[in-house]
Structure 1
Amino acid sequence: MENDISKSKNQAIIIFLGFLMLVIIYSLFFGPAKKYGDSLMPAKTINVSAEGKVTVSPDIAKLSFSVVSEGANSKLLAENNNKKMNAAIDFAKSQGIEEKDIKTTEYNLSPRYEYDEKTKKTFISGYTLTQTVLVKVRDLNKVAEVLGGLPALGINQISSISFDIDEPEKYLSEARNQAFDKAKEKAKAIAEKNGVKLGQVINFYEYQSTPYYQNVRALGMGGAEAVQPLPQIQPGSQEVTIQVSVTYEIK
């Protein structure tokens, strides 16, 4: 009789331990799997896009001008070229352009080759020297005067005039704030229309566009008369634009 009671107790203990083991196994494998599966479920979101735009008047002009010379003697060619460019730089400084805003962007001496029919060989017949300087004019009222004075000093190419904003970040910040405000208002309107509430921002992307007005003007070799009388310079305006794409959680 006692053996039967002892045997029953042992069976009960074995059954309990087996059940406990099943619970532990389920918790270890199926519990985390469920949580992991839940984490893979996509959150309920809405995505909106908006644009912020600020119209600004340029406050600087960038002028690129060159002296292009040809000659048989490279040393004399360089001396003549340098003399003209140095005079142009001194003139730019006299117009209030600071030294920090004057930059040499090209100095290129290239040989010119010709073919001799008698010897059947090529030879150097001369050289072409191109010296280019970029200046930043902060007083836009001086642009026309600078352009008008350069050719008389030997500048025979003015390749570009571009207008820009010296410190665009404050305008970018204004456009950015405008874009995000518009995006939030749009998201709120969509959420209200669909009977849900707007939650936190999940992610966002920003795209920046800062187009600029550019006027390209070229003068021929020795074309001093090409800028007389002084040209009318119109800086125009620029639109500093930022597009944003924002994803909001909805509840």
Structure 2
Amino acid sequence: MIYRKLFLAAALAAAPVASLHAADVQIVAQNPVIELSVSEQVNSAPDTASFSTGVETKAPTATQALRDNSRMAKTVIDKLKSLGIEDKDIQTTGISLNADYQYDRASEQNRFVGYRVSNQVSATVRDIEKLGMILDALVSQGGATNLNGPYFSVDDDSELKKLARERALANARMQALSYANAEGYAGVRVLSISEGLSNVSQGPMPQMRGMVADAVQDLPISVGQVGTTINLSITYEMVR
């Protein structure tokens, strides 16, 4: 399914001559110009999902907190690999060590109780039919204490970009011709094109911390669709 959005900002030059610069190349327009911004989005079913997971540990000393965390983090990574996720799709994204405090109501002050260590890992799932099972196994068997995601995407979206680009160009030309004809010109020629890309996916599921296995068994996953969007800024010259 294809959804279209068109945003127009047309400017007719007050003077008969306008100059456009791209890098070191100067393009001179002898007639009025039209500037258009066009956005075209192509929706499709995702085939890839990514999420982050990890463990958090607390201990009286920094050394113990790090040791405990390292052991638990290794369990999580080993579990990811055993679930079919390749090494190239697993990446450590952050390790933090911080002092841990608890609020003492009696003294109305924060009391130092030890250290807190967090280790986060991102993973990419290329068989998203297994995503629910993987998330379940990480918490129930892998020792993960938090999950964040998933984020859905299309692994190879080159064809989607091509389709969106073609439709955006067609839309832009149709609009430019409409402006040109209204001003008594027969056609248009392109002076410049710049492109921007964006991907739209479902928002991530809420972060889950410290959930027991029963809370995530048979976790339902709805992948929906993701959108690949091409944003074009095109300048046309009106021609006789």
Report the TM-score, using the length of structure 2 for normalisation: 0.75
Question: What is the match of residue 7 of structure 1?
Answer: none
Shift of 1:39: 5.9
Task: Report % sequence identity.
Answer: 28
Aligned residue for 1:150, secondary structure, equals helix
Question: What is the match of residue 172 of structure 2?
Answer: 183
1:109 matched to 2:97? The reply is yes
1:221 matched to 2:239? The reply is no
- Over 3 Å counting, the alpha-carbon distance change for 1:231 and 1:52 in structure 2 is same
- Over 3 Å counting, the alpha-carbon distance change for 1:84 and 1:191 in structure 2 is same
Whose strand fraction is larger, Structure 1's or Structure 2's? 2
Structure 2: state its 5+ residue gaps. 1-14, 19-28, 105-109
2-structure distance, mates of 1:196, 1:81: 71
Shift of 1:241: 1.8
Question: What is the match of residue 156 of structure 2?
Answer: 167
Shift of 1:38: 8.3
Question: What is the match of residue 204 of structure 1?
Answer: 193
After superposition, what is the alpha-carbon deviation per residue over 1:115-148, rounded to whole angstroms, capped at 9, x for unaligned?
Answer: 99xxxxx985311111111001111011111111
Aligned residue for 1:232, secondary structure, equals coil
After superposition, what is the alpha-carbon deviation per residue over 1:194-223, rounded to whole angstroms, capped at 9, x for unaligned?
Answer: 442214212234343322212323223253
Q: How many residues align?
A: 210
Shift of 1:158: 0.8
Is contact 1:95-1:142 (8 Å) kept? no
Whose helix fraction is larger, Structure 1's or Structure 2's? 1
2-structure distance, mates of 1:113, 1:45: 64
The structure 2 residue matched to 1:94, chosen from 77, 82, 103, is 82
Aligned residue for 2:31, secondary structure, equals coil
Report which of the two structures shows the higher radius of gyration computed on alpha carbons.
1
Alpha-carbon RMSD: 2.8
Report the TM-score, using the length of structure 1 for normalisation: 0.72
Please tell me the residue identity of whatever aligns with 2:144: I
Q: Which runs of 4+ in 1 moved over 4 A?
A: 37-42, 113-116
Question: What is the match of residue 236 of structure 2?
Answer: 248
1-structure distance, mates of 2:98, 2:132: 32
- Over 3 Å counting, the alpha-carbon distance change for 1:197 and 1:143 in structure 2 is same
Is contact 2:16-2:32 (8 Å) kept? no
Shift of 1:176: 1.3
